[in-house]
Amino acid sequence: MTSEIIQISLWSALCLVLEAIFSGAELALVSCDKLRLTHRSARGERGAKIALWLARRPEWFFSTTLLGQNLFIVGNSVLVTFFIFKHFGYEYEFLGLGLAPLILIFGEAVPKSIFQQRADKLATLVSPFILVFSYLLYPIVWALSKLTMLLLGGVKGTLLAGHQVTSESLELLLKDAEISEALSPDLKKTMMRTLSFPKRKVHEIMTPLVDLFSLRDTMSVKESLHLASGENRSLIPIFQRRAHNVVGVVSVYDLLLARKLTVPVSELMQLPLYVSELTSVRDLFLLLRKERNNFAVVVDEFGGAVGVVTTEDILEKVVGEIRDEYDHGKKNWNKVSPYRYVFRGRTRLDEINETFFWGLPKNRCETLAGFMIDQFGRIPQKGDILHYGQLTFMVKEATPRSVDEIIIEIEEKT
């Protein structure tokens, strides 16, 4: 009797495991990333190829999983019921009800939860098993698939085809060697920028306050025009008492059209749009569109202004650099020789990595000057040299407060 109980328990557990595989496989193939699956299939992964084949034949796949689930549920129930009738009699048939929660929990709920969370990996693991099982019971699966197509039409197919394409999937495809070769470098760069757009924070694209020309709110229009004559900017921040206390923004056109030159510039300024430096670029873009504005003041956690962001700054993250009034015609770097460049300290690391693929890390900084300060642990001065991988950095111009120009030499290949 004891050995028979062990045998029945093992067979029942096997049926439960097989039911769980069919139950989970159904949800895994529906939930998995089809673009990632296509990418893995193109690389020659056998499991991915089979999973993709099944995904393109949903009526065959669902007929197989439905048959497998029901076959092992019924088989498990028959085994347990037969054992109870044989050893305990018909009056104890209610003991068979104890199997129901096991089937529901361990045969359905738990495996579906696990397979859904690890859909990409498990779909490729169980697909070969599902395919072999479908061929073993080919006549029944074929009949069920035809019946499914007849009764349900494209319902199941729609379920599989309605997969939502994620940015991670597109990034994966862009990193594929064959696809990368088919795209122009500029197009690939633009697509990668577009995909990373929602992840960006405002502080990554803003123009720092120290780089801005601004006016005190008590200055007259005449004084403001005189000072702004050397600046090629259409929008000028207005501060009160301290530079980081930005209280408004004035247009150069409003200054030029002012009737009274003696009035303070504060009478012509407009209240700015304030945003946190941790606001996402996407949210800021939507906010600027909603407010019909193209200028925002970026503030830190203490409420002090740290920079400004324009619509142009946002567009540059997608289409690349736009040369205009804020750039003053200056390039961020000059190529001195095939292996030697001179960079401005304020060149953003994103821009460098996108162009040169050097993989400079963004630990706590956004610019090349910040990278140098982070590596040295201090503000490096003229002549300081840093070796990083195959790159050699040398400070060309610096002040006690900033790093202005850096020479980067690439180690020549021998």
234, 235, 236, 240: CA torsion to nearest 10: 160
pLDDT at residue number 373: 92
pLDDT at residue number 11: 83
What is the CA angle 319-321-322, rounded to 5? 95
pLDDT at residue number 160: 45
The rounded average pLDDT for each run of 10 residues, N- to C-terminus, in the chain (414 residues) is 74 85 84 75 83 83 85 81 70 67 81 84 88 88 81 52 54 54 62 67 86 90 87 85 90 88 91 90 88 90 89 73 51 88 91 86 85 92 92 93 93 69
Beta-bridge partner residues of 367? 348
pLDDT at residue number 57: 82
Domains contained in the chain, CATH given: 2-165 (no CATH), 201-319 (3.10.580.10), 333-410 (3.30.465.10)
pLDDT at residue number 80: 76
Q: What are phi and psi of 329, to 5 degrees?
A: 75, 5
CA atoms within 13 A on the CB side of 137: 18
Q: How far apart are CA 271 and CA 246, in angstroms?
A: 10
pLDDT at residue number 326: 46
- Kindly report, residue by residue over 118-144, the tens digit of the pLDDT: 888 888 888 889 889 888 888 888 888
Tokens of 73: 């549920």
Positive or negative, the CA dihedral 206, 210, 214, 217 is positive
Q: Which helix (H) or strand (E) holds 387?
A: strand 385-388
**By CB neighbour count within 10 A (0-12 exposed, 13-18 middle, 19+ buried), where does 190 fall?**
middle
